[in-house]
Structure 1
């Protein structure tokens, strides 16, 4: 598969793991709950670098581990479905401790893989290695200092939970202040390895929320309000008004949608146009953005929804496997073919001098 990808002029970006874990190791020692997972992941990564590094120049250690620990070990809605009340109703688990244990092991597994790549392969293979995190954006629901600080805490308990250790060698101060001894500690050696532990950061962004402080004022129980989440109540609305258009992919979750309606995805075109316009603006203002991926190329088997939802640029008939471009695919093809990007750095798909559209 990789040979054909390269022969077609497509640069592969390889993700080593996306939330799954071998059942054998889950049964043997509890996967990410055990420090033993760090060594096994490093061994697996080493094999991948050795076997495919001559063709792969971009490696991602983990995709959305901050989602993985939240939904796998706090809410229990993702495998291995571990949680405790009031976060969820699982057979096993501890929602107040296990997310932080698993996150700690994942962070150290990431840095172990990075260390192997940099010391054994990077000089000769000439590639890069990073991590991809899920990133909501949080806006304070009011102009109060408390709500503004709550919005910052929400980021600390989300994407910064993983990025701060990997870049600075420590957890966010807000997490340390609130969680205390619940938060695992890094040894001196681990801190030295952690600092600057990536070459690039991937961001998966889907939506944004308003945030209200729950540390100094009472909040109704809900997403983000607990100590384990930073005392930050999250809402998609403010005074009854949504923070953004609620659903852009109108037919995505409708099992009885017609093929014609799925192919004519005008709302998705609006979304992509607005998103890429904002991204281009950020680049012109100095954001160091090197690439953008549309999710996804094809309708596919989604993590915990199977074939019940569709969001590919191309419609797939699951009976015949026929692929049909949606309106968004045609729009996106025309966009990238009609607008030239000048002065690109080698191997980067996006550059700072972007032609305006």
Structure 2
């Protein structure tokens, strides 16, 4: 095909889809100066090497080894072997033009017994120093999370982990060592990742470590109380956060321009029946529990009144000293956003079966009273995409917390893989491109149109990894990891999309992009020309799929979605976590 003909064909296709896209494609330069784009990970999900370098067992080591049936018979003994392969993976981040990498410190690797008096593991310290240095050498800023659900099992055995207030001072000591060892090179810190999910999944539903709940909630739970323990654990999490921030602000190793915050994981909620006052109030209560339960204390020093009302005497209280330490203890708020739900009011709950999940008289729904599903999805994922919810969450925080700075610390979608899918099918992840594209569009609107002070966006995740109770069956990565054949990394189509997104220059229009691609196609060798044609083919394929999905979504929203369509509802309902 003549190059000139190819160019005009592409222009014609662009024109065909002009009604579905802006004249100017968003890219990294569409966002404010200093806006950070990165990817995210956690120690347990990535590192592997659970018995190497002086590391002790963490609670997830114990959980997955003791109850393998609760993690799909998988564990993270090896995970994606980031402990040994981090240099190669950082090269891939560099090729993507990512600005930052968010990762967590394994408490069990740094202080194996969990107690500072027993000593710090120098091998663990050196591993994280080497990791940080490698990131900085590649112009990638480290963003460090102190706690991503993996405290030493020894603390769980000794006093019940976060069920005991004893953990607060042990966490303080752990945080102080992190600041002393890494504070001169790390400027972005987060204390606790997703206290809501850790609390509810670990102590109300029992799906995640520590795997505790009332036996009538989950027969796999061997101990626990779904009515009281979530409040106790959450209270101690907040006090541990405050203690860490106190150490951060006293540390001499921390530079003046460093910042620290907490990371929440809210869904957005819409009323099940838009005309129902009860359902509107139910949606407000759901948001209060998802956001205000943890954010009010770190901003205002106390729990919100609505949580006090519905939790009653099960909710612990803060002393005056604790309240003062908590107040304004977050320089920013980290938000992990994935999906949304409808909320409906529950008039009565069974007094014989008390649990956190029903205390606020709210039930989550995937569809509203008319049968409309909350977001787009297909059988490839247990996440329903509702990008408008991200914008609404950001405005909710802006309006209630004086427009505190926000970083999107996680956003992404999984691909279900039971081990039978061909790799080639998983690599063609147009649905993931659509997910990130639409969420970034809503993020941009929140910043530019609504004035939300959002300063960064981290995709979850760079690599497929160990996805907690789902084991290796839920692939969130931009890169496919072959868990059968040597953990080799393969770029998915979303890698191409992110490279394009992060490399475009400011003010570039669609036509200019096509002209540039066409010019690049001239004076190419045959081999290079084939690559050029494939690139154009991918671009056109994505545009066509985008249009098809939007038309499909438009049609879907105007009618009741059949239950059998892609088995979407079945897939989400059968997801054991039900948090996404």
Query: What's the TM-score once normalised by structure 1's chain length?
Result: 0.89
Residue of structure 1 equivalent to 2:191:
61
Aligned pair in 2 of structure 1 residues 122, 111: CA closer, same or farther (>3 Å)?
farther
Pair 1:295-2:460 in alignment = yes
Cα distance change of structure 1 residues 97 and 178 upon mapping to structure 2, 3 Å threshold: same
SS at 1:297 equivalent: coil
Moved over 6 A (4+): 224-227
Which of 12, 19, 24 is the aligned partner of 2:149? 19
1:106 aligns with 237
Q: Deviations over 1:185-224 (max 9, x none)?
A: 000111111111111111111110111112xx35899xx9
Deviation at 1:272, TM superposition (A): 1.1
Map of 1:202-281 to 2, 5 A cutoff? 202-214=334-346, 217=347, 228-238=358-368, 239-247=370-378, 249-250=380-381, 251-281=415-445
Structure 1 position 87, deviation (Å):
2.6
CA contact under 8 A between 2:171 and 2:240: conserved in structure 1?
yes
The alignment partner of 1:158 has SS state of helix
Q: Distance in 2 between matches of 1:226 and 1:46?
A: 33
CA contact (8 A) 1:225 1:231 kept: no
For the 8 Å contact 2:227–2:355, the answer to whether it is kept is: no
TM superposition shift of 1:8: 0.2
Distance between the aligned counterparts of 1:128 and 1:283, measured in 2? 21
> 1:314, CA displacement in angstroms?
1.1
Question: Aligned equivalents of 1:35 and 1:234: distance in 2?
Answer: 32
* RMSD (Å), alpha carbons: 2.1
Q: 1:199 to 1:122 in 2, by over 3 A?
A: farther
Please tell me whether the aligned partners of residues 219 and 225 of structure 1 are also in contact (alpha carbons under 8 angstroms).
no
Matched, 1:182 2:307: no
CA distance in 2, matches of 1:219, 1:240: 24
- Aligned to 1:241, what secondary structure does the other structure show? coil
What is the CA–CA distance in structure 2 between the aligned matches of 1:330 and 1:213, rounded to whole Å?
Answer: 44
Q: Contact 1:179–1:227 at 8 Å: present in 2 too?
A: no
Distance 1:136 1:304, change over 3 A: same
Q: Tell me the residue number matched to 1:152.
A: 284
| Aligned 8 A contact 1:248 1:267 in 2 | no
Map Cα deviations across residues 85-143 of structure 1 (whole Å, 9 max, x no partner).
Answer: 44323221111111100100000000000011012247645311111111111111122
Q: CA deviation at 1:309?
A: 2.3
Identify which range, 298-307 or 286-295, moves more after superposition: 298-307
Do residues 336 (structure 1) and 502 (structure 2) align? Answer: yes
Would you say the 8 A contact 1:179–1:228 is kept in 2? no
Bigger relative contact order (CA 8 A; separation at least 6): 2
Q: Deviations over 1:329-353 (max 9, x none)?
A: 1011101111449xxxxxxxxxxxx
Judged with a 3 Å threshold, the aligned counterparts in structure 2 of structure 1 residues 19 and 53 are, in CA distance, closer, same or farther, namely: same
Matched, 1:161 2:293: yes
* Shift in Å, 1:320: 2.8
Q: Give the CA deviation at 1:21.
A: 1.6
Could you say which residue in structure 2 is the equivalent of 1:2? Answer: 132
| Contact 1:57 1:127 (8 Å CA) reproduced | yes
User: Which 10-residue stretch deviates more, 31-40 or 332-341?
Assistant: 332-341
Q: Distance in 2 between matches of 1:104 and 1:131?
A: 14
Alpha-carbon distance between aligned partners in 1 of 2:293 and 2:271, rounded to the nearest angstrom:
19
User: What 5-or-longer segments of structure 2 have no aligned partner?
Assistant: 1-130, 382-414, 508-580
Report deviation, 1:145.
Answer: 2.0
CA distance in structure 2 between the aligned counterparts of 1:253 and 1:203, rounded to whole angstroms:
27
Q: Which structure's residues are more often helix, by fraction?
A: 2
In structure 1, what is the equivalent of residue 206 of structure 2?
Answer: 76
Q: Identify the residue that residue 447 of structure 2 maps to in structure 1.
A: 283
Q: Bigger radius of gyration, 1 or 2?
A: 2
Where do 5+ consecutive residues of structure 1 fail to align? 342-357
Q: How does 1:304-323 map to 2 (within 5 A)?
A: 304-318=469-483, 319-323=485-489
User: How far is the alpha carbon of 1:229 from its aligned partner?
Assistant: 3.9
Deviation string, structure 1 residues 162-195 (Cα, Å, up to 9, x no partner): 1111111111211111122110000011111111
Shift of 1:307: 2.1
Tell me how far apart the structure 1 counterparts of residues 189 and 307 of structure 2 sit (CA, whole Å): 29
Distance 2:317 2:435 in 1: 41
Deviation at 1:17, TM superposition (A): 1.1
Greater shift, 107-116 or 304-313, is seen at: 304-313
